[in-house]
Chain A
Amino acid sequence: MSEHAPLLEVRAIRKAFPGVVALTDVSFDILPGEVHALVGENGAGKSTLLSIMNGLQLPDSGEIRRDGQAVTLRNPSVARAHRIALVHQELVLCPNLTVAENILLGQEPKGRFGRTDRKAMHREARRILDAIHVDIDPARSTGELSLNEQQIVEICRALVSDPRVLIFDEPTASLNDDQVQHLLNVIRKLKAKGLGIVYVSHRLAEVFALADRITVLRDGRAVATLPAVETSEAVVIRHMVGRDPAPNRVERGTSGTAEVALAVRSLGAGKLFDDVSFEIRKGEILGIAGLLGCQREAVMRALFGALPVDRGEVLVGGKPCQPRSPRQAIARGFGFLPADRKGEGLVLPMSVGDNIALTMLWRFSALGFLRRRKKDGLAWEMIRTLSTKVASLSQAARELSGGNQQKLVIAKWIARGGEVFLIEDPTRGVDVGAKPQIWRAIDELTRQGKAVLLITSELQELMDISDRIIVMSRGRVTGHFERPEFSVEGIARCAVM
């Protein structure tokens, strides 16, 4: 491998934003046929480095070489012409277009008279989807795809231009375990074809399964580049956080009282799900496991009043409750932490502080006027509790790194309080050091007697933190596990029932 010249090389890159230096003197290279992983804490500068390699941003200083030639990647199409492609961390698909249209957006095959050749387009989309062994109908509308499927479409989109260097920014953040394996296999195939692959992920197991070399970024500096076979997770984590990592396990402080906080009986919504029943006691965490399309997300939305329910009954603290809007649900003590932080969790143009305050504006009201001091005080408190990396309270949420945006979503709901928390993938895109912090924050909620309904994309995480797990498959509850009975096999069996 080492006898090859690098496909892409960046040298002494520096990039600053108002209030933060995102990258300082970073050098990085990718050899043909290798997976070079890039890891680091939230806000370390990974996404920034990738967007510089992909022409989304220009560095303040430093040099980029493609096959030894110095190049200026002024914008992504220049990068594409140099056969460098990026799979986004965040989903940037057009929901109103079909899967095929999204995959080939801007690169549609042209038929006679320059018209878009729809047949060829579907064939091409099909071919790319097949190449990574995914069964999604290219004619489907992207808006109705689940987050997971959208992520796959995003990956297909990068493959269209037949790149030599392929850059992944947390491609598996929203994927289920089995799909992660799927994706890793696809990447191995691409690597075998001689592509150079840059891979960013917070899931170190995955990084070690895939990477040849690992570069660690810390506070905008490349602190180490290590061959994967010669190092270990512990060493990498130490480089990431710059000290010995905090213990990873969260001791659950409670496993629930006897009092039932939320009872759901034979809940059904259209064709989405039917006859869903479960109870959560105060102080308990109930996990819902299930594969793509099991509709566990729909159940949460229905409970939160964001999706109409037509059958069954919901009891909160013993009293019937049929919220018809999120507002009503919140008034009854529900909180909802969505996985799609950009689309549903945050108002990106608003500031960090304003986003946190959004769930409880009335608390900062003095005759309708905003009590700014009180609001900012609370916002700082939340930001510190979750060690969110922000330049100031007035920084726009858009400018935060992915993991820090995730923390913001959690902050705004923990600050709000409530009785029943519906939590979707709370550690998506959060670094290994910060994950326990988030789990601890959720554990703390249960210590205060709150009930938590939890969905995660990683089954292991769900098993680590939940007190009980129910399994859903095609809109029905197919299994129920108490903590001592948790097993990957047992849950997987129910998930395909």
Chain B
Amino acid sequence: MSAVGDTNAARSAPAIRRPVPFRAQIGGLSRIAILLLLVLTAQLVTPSFLAPANLQVILMAVAAIGVMAIGMTLVVIAGEIDLSIAGVAILACVLGGILIPTGSPVLVIGVTLLTGLVLGLINGILVAGLRIPSLIATLGMLGIARALANIASGGQALYPESIGPYVWLGRGTLLGLPVPVLILLALTILAIALTRFSIFGQALYATGGNVKAARLSGINVAAVRIAVFMLCGFCAALAGMLDSARLSYINPSGFEGIELSVLAVTVLGGAALSGGKGTIIGTLVAALIIGVVNNLLNQLGVSIYLQQVAIAAVILAVVLPDALKRESGK
């Protein structure tokens, strides 16, 4: 009789634990371990690796793609995909850039970010309202936004030097840290708050994990979808601006193929394209992993093509064990 009582212990002990699945923690830890291992290796191979100057280089290189990947992670958790980020980034920067002659930083920066939000809203309406699969809707948006950016700029690059605060976003420092890095950090914290500590986060994971059950539970899945596309559009525009500011140069045909790198980071970070899975921390760590590998190979003078092979290998090495575990577990 008492044997029955024993197993009831789990039920009656109201231990309040953080609702993170056990495996997700392990997965996150293994990524951090890989990152530390890489850093250690890099330090052994090139002794100047951990020098503050080099760390700054790495972080700067990661900032824009990290910002984009945070937006993409939200979309992927919701079970969707956004292939339009390059187009959104460019069109937003060009529309903002057209206003450079006004000399108003508020206008230039505001229009850039607003354009990102609006294009994201359009993506969201296409997907959630008109039920167009996000792959198709955002692919269409990519093409259209790129074309519009070229039309609007006449194919000419734009130069934001005259707008001080704009340039500061890409090149300035605050508290001894580069502004883009600080922006990435701030965004990470906001996104973690959103996914882990807000009720929106619950709705987000539910929508991605099982749309039907989420809808039948009364969750406004259309609103969730529209919101993630808007946030992703915003992140794309912001990242575009950080890069343009850093280069002092808005390139109407830039960011070619960036969506694939961003998706790679997102998946490397543990998000599943099937939805309902993924963490902001995972994505950030993944972006750092890529940054460290790239930096190391650069220092070693490895050709860009071999670097791409190396990155692909790292992604496979991290993602494969997860995939295999899932395969054998189910």
Contact = CB atoms under 8 A, between A and B. Distances in A.
Contacts of A18: 22
26 contacts: A19-B22, A218-B3, A219-B3, A241-B4, A343-B212, A346-B210, A347-B276, A348-B210, A349-B276, A350-B206, A350-B209, A351-B19, A354-B19, A354-B202, A358-B206, A358-B219, A369-B193, A370-B199, A372-B197, A376-B16, A376-B19, A384-B12, A392-B15, A393-B16, A393-B17, A394-B22
A353 B4 contact: no
B303 interface: no
Interface in B184-209: 193, 197-203, 205-206, 209
B216 A306 contact: yes
Task: Say whether chain B's binding surface is mostly helix, strand, loop, or mixed.
Answer: helix
Contacts of A392: 10, 15, 17
A436 interface: no
Interface centre among B197, B210, B220 (most CB of A within 10 A): B210
Nearest to B201: A370
B102 to A, nearest CB: 35
B301 interface: no
Given A348-B209, A354-B202, 11 more contacts: A306-B215, A326-B218, A338-B216, A347-B214, A364-B199, A370-B197, A372-B19, A389-B11, A390-B11, A395-B21, A412-B217
Interface string B31-69: 000000000000000000000000000000000000000
B175 interface: no
Contacts of A390: 10-11
A112 interface: no
Contacts of A364: 199
Interface of A: 18-20, 218-219, 241-243, 304, 306, 325-327, 330-331, 336, 338, 343-351, 353-354, 357-359, 361-362, 364-365, 368-370, 372-373, 376-377, 380, 383-384, 387-396, 412
B325 interface: no
B3 A361 contact: no
Given A219-B3, A242-B4, A387-B11, A358 B217 contact: yes
A369 B198 contact: yes
Interface centre among A358, A377, A383, A384 (most CB of B within 10 A): A358
B186 to A, nearest CB: 18
A242 B1 contact: yes
B199 A362 contact: yes
Nearest to A376: B16
Contact of A354 (B4, B14, B205): B205
A384 B11 CA distance: 6
A218 B1 CA distance: 11
Nearest to A367: B198
A350 B11 contact: no
Contacts of A326: 215-218
Interface residues of B, number: 41
Contacts of A368: 198-200
A46 B21 CA distance: 24
A388 B11 contact: yes
A347 B11 contact: no
A391 B10 contact: yes
Nearest to B210: A347
Nearest to B2: A242
A365 B202 CA distance: 11
B202 A357 contact: yes
B312 interface: no
Nearest to B15: A392
Contacts of B213: 343-347, 358
Contacts of A369: 193, 197-199
Nearest to B214: A347
A389 B10 contact: yes
A219 B7 contact: yes
Contacts of A347: 205-206, 209-210, 213-214, 276
A391 B7 CA distance: 10
Contacts of B198: 368-370
A305 to B, nearest CB: 10
Given A349-B276, A370-B199, A387-B11, A394 B17 contact: yes
Contacts of B219: 327, 358, 361
Contacts of B7: 219, 389
Contacts of B220: 327
Contacts of A344: 212-213, 216
B216 A336 contact: yes
A234 to B, nearest CB: 17
A357 B1 CA distance: 34
Contacts of B3: 218-219, 242
Nearest to A362: B199
Interface centre among A304, A362, A395 (most CB of B within 10 A): A395
B277 interface: yes
Contacts of A304: 216
Interface centre among B12, B16, B19 (most CB of A within 10 A): B19
